[in-house]
Amino acid sequence: MPYDLKELAAISGQSGLYRLLKPARHGVLVESLDAKAARSLAPASNKVSLLSEIGIYSQDSDDTVPLTQVFENIYQKYGTNLPVSNKSSEAELTSFLAEVLPEYDRERVYLSDIKKLVTWYSIVSQHRPYEEATTESEAPAAETTEEA
């Protein structure tokens, strides 16, 4: 997986993304993914959504494409410089998502979802390193050279 999204979350009612640090008595201790990297407590009453568990609806009725795969598609096509922002027009945003994920469900994926996707990708690409996905055939080859 290119971007490690396991410990990143979006918190309802708060802008930006957060890194989960540890559970606390009345919520979760989080650190913001911005220049300040401020730590705070996300109360248990707020909905915390892990980015690794979020997906984009596809045209297959019960299927979603994981956010990690969507981020991989964006990186392969555009790198870290997106041609759109969350302030772009509806036509620009929908054509951007259609280029990156042609099979997305145009009825269930709203404009606000695409804006969140663009914002989240911008934040993650600034604060998380992109890691090339290693194939299973490359990993054993590396192990055999170390043993020799």
pLDDT tens string 11-68: 998 888 999 999 988 999 999 988 788 898 988 889 999 999 999 999 987 789 999 9
The predicted pLDDT at position 133 comes to 59
Burial class of residue 23 (count of CB atoms within 10 Å of its CB; 0-12, 13-18, 19+): exposed
Residues in the chain: 148
Looking at per-residue pLDDT, the higher value among 29 and 129 belongs to 29
Kindly give, in sequence order, each residue whose CB lies less than 8 Å from that of residue 43, ignoring residues fewer than 6 positions away.
26, 27
Residue 129, Ramachandran bin (φ over 0: left; ψ between -120 and 50: alpha; else beta): beta
Task: Tell whether the model's pLDDT for residue 144 goes beyond 60.
Answer: no
Domains and CATH numbers, the chain: 8-50 (2.30.30), 54-127 (1.10.10.1650)
What is the distance of C-alpha 144 from the center of its chain? 34
Structure tokens at 9: 């979350």
When pLDDT is averaged across residues 4-14 and rounded to a whole number, the result is 88
The pLDDT assigned to 138 comes to 47
- The whole-angstrom separation of Cα 71 and Cα 57 is 14
Q: What is the pLDDT of residues 60-99, one digit of tens each?
A: 877 899 999 999 999 999 988 889 988 999 999 999 999 9
